Amino acid sequence: MISTLPSENPLKPPEAAVPNIKEPDLSVENLAALQEDIHRMENPNFAVQKQKVREMFERGVPFFTRSAMEQLKHQIDSIKSMNENGESTDGQKFVFSSVTGQRVERAVLKGLTRSRHFGQEKVLYSDQALCPLQICYGGQSELDQFRSLEGTRDALHASLKLWQTSEDCARLKSCLSTASLPGITKIIAFACSSIARDVDHTRHRSATQHALLLTLRDILQAAQPGIEITCIAQDPIYTDIDKVVLSEHGVEVLYDPEGFIEVDDQSVVLSFSPNVPVRQIITDLARPVILAWDTVLTEEQTINRWARVHDPPKTAATAEDLEACLCDPESSRVRAMIREEYVDVHRLDDKEFGDASIYIRDDEKRR
Asked whether the predicted pLDDT for residue 78 surpasses 80, the reply is: yes
| Domain count within the chain | 2
The Cα-based distances of 347 to 16, 168, 175, 193 in angstroms read: 39, 9, 11, 21
What range does the domain containing 216 cover? 149-294+331-366
Question: What is the distance in angstroms between the CA of the first residue and the CA of the last residue of the chain?
Answer: 34
Angle 20-94-126 from CA coordinates, rounded to 5°: 80
**Strand pairing category for 251-253 and 230-234:** parallel
For residue 313, tell me if it sits in a domain: no
- Answer with the one of 115, 136, 157 that is the final residue of a domain: 136
Q: Are 2 and 76 in contact (CB under 8 A)?
A: yes
Long-range contacts of 279-284 (CB under 8 A, 24+ apart): 279/328, 279/329, 279/330, 279/331, 279/334, 280/63, 280/64, 280/328, 280/329, 280/331, 280/333, 280/334, 281/64, 283/331, 283/333, 283/334, 283/337, 284/62, 284/63, 284/64, 284/65, 284/333
Judge if 95 and 44 occupy the same domain.
yes
Q: Which helix (H) or strand (E) holds 157?
A: helix 149-164
Q: Which of 17-21, 271-275, 343-347, 355-359 has the lowest mean pLDDT?
A: 17-21
Judge if 61 and 193 occupy the same domain.
no
Structural Rg of the chain based on CA atoms: 22
Asked whether the predicted pLDDT for residue 99 surpasses 90, the reply is: no
Asked whether the predicted pLDDT for residue 313 surpasses 70, the reply is: no
The Cα 284–Cα 263 span in angstroms is: 11
Within its chain, how far is the Cα of 222 from the centroid?
29
Beta bridge partners of 253: 233
Judge if 131 and 180 occupy the same domain.
no
The Cα 116–Cα 113 span in angstroms is: 10
Query: Averaged over 89-108, what is the pLDDT?
Result: 82
201 or 294: which leads in pLDDT:
294
Q: What is the mean pLDDT of the chain?
A: 80
Q: Are 195 and 206 in contact (CB under 8 A)?
A: yes
Asked whether the predicted pLDDT for residue 142 surpasses 90, the reply is: no
Judge if 250 and 336 occupy the same domain.
yes
pLDDT tier at 118 (50, 70, 90 boundaries)?
Answer: low
Read off the pTM: 0.80
Q: Which of 115-119, 194-198, 325-329 has the lowest mean pLDDT?
A: 115-119
pLDDT digits (tens, 9 = 90+) for 143-191: 467 789 999 999 999 999 999 999 999 999 999 988 889 889 999 999 9
Q: What is the CATH number of the domain that holds 287?
A: 3.40.50
